[in-house]
Amino acid sequence: MAPAHLPPALPGRKRRIAMMTSGGDSQGMNGATRAVVRMAIDRGCEVYCIKEGYEGLVKGGDQIQKFEWPDVRGWLSANGTLIGTARCMAFYERPGRLTAAKNMVLNGIDALIICGGDGSLTGADKFRSEWPSLLEELVATKQLTAEQTEPFKHLNIVGLVGSIDNDMSGTDATIGCFSALTRICELVDCIESTALSHSRAFVVEVMGRHCGWLALMAGVACGADFVFIPEKPRAGNWREEMCKIHRKVGKRQTIVIVAEGAHDQEGNKISPDMIKDLLADKNGLALDTRITTLGHVQRGGKACAFDRYLATLQGVEAVNAVLDATPETPTPFIAITENKITRKPLVQAVLDTKEVTKAIESRDFDRAMSLRDTEFSDMYNSYMTTTATGLNDSMRLPPTKNMRIAIIHVGAPAGGVNAATRAAVAYCLTRGHTPIAIHNGFAGFARHHDDKPLGAVREFDWLEVDGWASRGGSEIGMNRETPEESGMELIASLFKQYKFDGLFIIGGFEAFHSLSQLRKARDQYSSLCIPMTLLPATISNNVPGSEYSLGSDTCLNELISYCDTIKQSASASRRRVFVIETQGGRSGYVATLAGLAVGAVAVYTPEEGISIDMLAADIQHLREAFKTDRGQSSSGRLILVNEKASKVYSARLIADIIRDEAHGRFEARDSIPGHVQQGGIPSPMDRTRAVRLAIKCIEQLEAFEDRTDETIRQDPQSCTVIGIKGASVVFSPMKVVEAEETDWANRRPKNEFWVELKHTVDTLSGRPEVPRPESPLVGWKAKDRKRGLI
């Protein structure tokens, strides 16, 4: 007979959703759990967390615990998975799944959100398909009654992919992969400095038995000389290729990155020892070669900004997917393509993932690559292009198609600018073009023509830029001056003097404004009738035409690290609020995304503004929060305020107001990270995307190498901004973007894709609805008129 203590499963009871992490741990899982718990509660559901993965589901009892809102406070910055994960052999067998089903019904749960790898998610889908027969067996064996199982006829499951290998087909990134990549790049950067000092070679082995994503991205981000991945073994005799190059062009160091599943085209394993023996062979390169196996250190450390907000947004979407599901809905998993979060069929993704492994085993490497996402293929091609500099004659264009391409940085420093420049130079040299550096932006360009030239215009040297992959700032200098401020007539004459055939601009809103000015000046100056393109690079992420700018990810990583430290400093006092001022100009992107990643109580942005009524409501919310705080977390509470959210309410003033209104019940402090947010070493995401997008930009310029002035003027694609929009990378004509998509007065896009995310920040922080300002941007316009922006 069924136990008498079973809870009633009545139709009127709240929906119960369970959250579980399974498989290997990956950074960001705690963020996903926090998001699921709080979003489900906000949607009127009860939430249970299953400890130790499928092991806890089979054991039941106290392994299945109800979670309340405060239970996940402070989880965003915690490492690993706080609800645990364990392998469970019992769940592989039907009796184990039968017990798991019984425990689900006992706890009134009919929906399961699982964060794990493809094996864990495959098991979940099988569990769902067997669910009706499992319930029938439980009733038939009298472990449960028909009345108890009746409300649970259908099991809804949603998958979140947590894997450092990023090996699930159908998604660009899995939760934890960028945190692991961050750890790898930090270590390879350290190794590279030793290699350079001692003129050594290092062979670095990273994880990836069936997926080379970590190895490939680390190779791109760190500028490695060789990368070995399972999906695409090197063609031909790679041993001879390795012996021919690199030191012959004057390099002092060699970095080789090997995925643990790397092999040659015949399927023979390529081990680090094999590569070391080759590099150290006295008849070959005779290099002092060392091996470093990174191992499980790749799983360690705190989650990076991307993994925190990816896990958060996917957790929110998972709850929505559960509540939207019908019995006929195929089991979905939550994916991300470029910049768009979507739901995709889990079964198909798992099948495609397994097909990759089969293709590798059968040595059908073209198929293996085709089953990876577009970004993976783009990155591989980008890597091969940037490491073939001057070595692959088949990639060179005929001399008649060679171009003189100028590269200039405009705006403020941003992570990834140097990596983009390095990639552009490498591509140009590989194709036979001449890459030309314009130092110190348009200001340096305009002033170099005096009697004593400053060397502001010169051809790039490959050995000079080869080490730029991991450098922050701008190695050729950048400033905010636009061509009109420098003198358009002078700039046009210099374009003519140096015979530029194309212009590649890297920078922020000033770069965008400069490109607009150059485009409009084409009617007056023939020398400006050349193809031009812009790669957005600014921590503010406010360039129209793109949802992503180089440097924004580096900024977010620096900012959340700063916020984590601030919260740690509050550990001695549970009653403290920190008001932190973020950069970002008149765009609230940085504040909002950082708010998602650190769990801010409130975020104040220029788009919304700040009012006294809003502050009063938030102070009242803080009073209630501290009044009901059970003291389970010693971390401080954070409020993020964009530097231009208000002309009156600065971070310091807000902190002073909160402190005064708290009447001693809690404290408030302000803190300004300032230019720390520009970052030191760029993040792996900024580095890898810099390479991919920079090469696409030069390819775009190549398409116009033989056009006439009139054709250039008439073709909108001759002057473009590259950008990630939703699920695509696109080149948008400047003529369209500047007229239809640009809020010139506020130096940002008219329609900012992330604005709705602010509501998510408020929801997950428990912030109640607050009064909104009537017109937050009145007051900026006089300044804009003076600068000629209106």
Q: Tell me: the pLDDT tens digits for 582-592? A: 999 999 999 99
pLDDT of residue 778: 41
pLDDT of residue 779: 40
Compute φ and ψ for 65, nearest 5 degrees. Answer: -120, 140
Residue 479 marked in a binding site? no
Place of tokens 């003291």: 631
Report the range of poorest mean pLDDT among 99-108, 143-152, 392-401, 674-683: 392-401
Residue 514: pLDDT band (50, 70, 90) is very high
pLDDT of 602 strictly over 90: yes
Q: Encoding tokens for residue 447?
A: 């002033």
Which residues 6+ apart lie within 8 Å of 714 measured at CB? Answer: none
Q: Which ranges of 521-665 would DSSP assign to H, the alpha helix?
A: 552-569, 589-598, 612-628, 651-662
Which residue, 700, 719, 699, is CA-closest to 523?
A: 719
Q: Encoding tokens for residue 408?
A: 């200039």
Which residues 6+ apart lie within 8 Å of 167 measured at CB? Answer: 117, 118, 174, 208, 210, 211, 213, 353, 356
pLDDT of residue 630: 62
Compute φ and ψ for 201, nearest 5 degrees. Answer: -110, 140
Inter-residue contact 550 to 536 (CB < 8 Å): yes
pLDDT of residue 567: 81
Residue 165 marked in a binding site? yes
Residue 620 marked in a binding site? no
Q: What residues form DSSP beta bridges with 92?
A: none
DSSP state of 738: I
Fold (CATH) for 555-679+756-783:
Rossmann fold (3.40.50)
Q: Encoding tokens for residue 11?
A: 């139709």
pLDDT of 8 strictly over 60: no
Inter-residue contact 84 to 72 (CB < 8 Å): no
Q: Is 687 exposed, middle or buried (0-12, 13-18, 19+ CB in 10 A)?
A: buried
pLDDT of residue 782: 36
Inter-residue contact 721 to 546 (CB < 8 Å): yes
Which residue, 635, 723, 675, is CA-closest to 554?
A: 675
Pairing relationship of beta strands 226-228 and 254-259 according to DSSP bridges: parallel
Q: Tell me: the pLDDT tens digits for 665-719? A: 888 999 999 999 998 899 999 999 999 999 999 999 999 988 899 999 999 999 9
Place of tokens 């003033």: 653
Q: Tell me: the pLDDT tens digits for 371-382? A: 888 889 999 999
Three-state DSSP class for residue 437: strand
pLDDT of residue 776: 54
Q: CA-to-CA distance for 654 and 635, rounded, in angstroms?
A: 20
Inter-residue contact 700 to 722 (CB < 8 Å): yes
Place of tokens 């015979």: 499
Average pLDDT over residues 757-766: 95
pLDDT of 633 strictly over 60: no
DSSP state of 575: S
Q: CA-to-CA distance for 11 and 14, rounded, in angstroms?
A: 8
* CATH superfamily, with its number, for domain 178-298: Phosphofructokinase domain (3.40.50.460)
Average pLDDT over residues 752-767: 94
Residue 536: pLDDT band (50, 70, 90) is very high
Find how far residue 37's CA is from the centre of its chain: 23
Inter-residue contact 543 to 509 (CB < 8 Å): yes
* Active-site residue, 125 included: no
Which residue, 172, 83, 43, 45, is CA-closest to 692?
A: 172
Report the range of poorest mean pLDDT among 116-120, 203-207, 403-407, 536-540: 116-120
Maximum mean pLDDT: which of 143-152, 252-261, 501-510, 780-789: 501-510
Q: Encoding tokens for residue 410?
A: 């405009």
Compute φ and ψ for 580, nearest 5 degrees. Answer: -110, 130
Maximum mean pLDDT: which of 268-282, 333-347, 534-548: 534-548
Q: CA-to-CA distance for 500 and 502, rounded, in angstroms?
A: 6
Residue 574 marked in a binding site? no
Residue 116 marked in a binding site? no
Q: CA-to-CA distance for 674 and 668, rounded, in angstroms?
A: 19
Residue 676 marked in a binding site? yes
Q: CA-to-CA distance for 637 and 667, rounded, in angstroms?
A: 10
Residue 5: pLDDT band (50, 70, 90) is very low
Fold (CATH) for 16-174+303-355:
Rossmann fold (3.40.50)
Residue 130: pLDDT band (50, 70, 90) is very high
**CATH 3.40.50.450 describes domain 393-550+682-744:** yes
DSSP state of 739: I
Maximum mean pLDDT: which of 45-49, 152-156, 247-251: 45-49
Residue 30 marked in a binding site? no
Residue 298 marked in a binding site? yes
pLDDT of residue 781: 41
Q: Say which of 165, 225, 686, 762 is annotated catalytic.
A: 165
Q: CA-to-CA distance for 255 and 218, rounded, in angstroms?
A: 11
pLDDT of residue 279: 84
pLDDT of residue 574: 65
Q: What residues form DSSP beta bridges with 407?
A: 437, 504
pLDDT of 552 strictly over 90: yes
pLDDT of residue 245: 58
Residue 785: pLDDT band (50, 70, 90) is very low
Pairing relationship of beta strands 332-337 and 434-438 according to DSSP bridges: unpaired
Q: Tell me: the pLDDT tens digits for 237-251? A: 777 777 665 555 556
Q: CA-to-CA distance for 417 and 536, rounded, in angstroms?
A: 9
pLDDT of residue 489: 96
> Contacts by 135-144 with C-beta closer than 8 Å and gap 24+?
135/101, 135/105, 137/98, 138/98, 138/101, 138/102, 138/105, 142/1, 142/2, 143/2, 143/102, 144/2, 144/6, 144/102, 144/105
Q: Taking the domains of the chain in order of start, what are their residue ranges?
A: 16-174+303-355, 178-298, 393-550+682-744, 555-679+756-783
Which residue, 392, 365, 405, is CA-closest to 700?
A: 405
pLDDT of residue 789: 32
Q: CA-to-CA distance for 437 and 453, rounded, in angstroms?
A: 14
498-521 burial code (b ≥16 CB/10 A, e <16): eebbbbbbbbbbbbbbbbbbbbbb
DSSP state of 301: S
pLDDT of 300 strictly over 90: no
pLDDT of residue 772: 85
Residue 129 marked in a binding site? no
Q: CA-to-CA distance for 685 and 732, rounded, in angstroms?
A: 22
Q: Look up residue 249 and give its amino acid.
A: V
pLDDT of residue 780: 41
Three-state DSSP class for residue 226: strand
State the chain's mean pLDDT as an integer: 89
Q: CA-to-CA distance for 126 and 597, rounded, in angstroms?
A: 33
Average pLDDT over residues 255-269: 92
Residue 675 marked in a binding site? yes
pLDDT of residue 442: 95
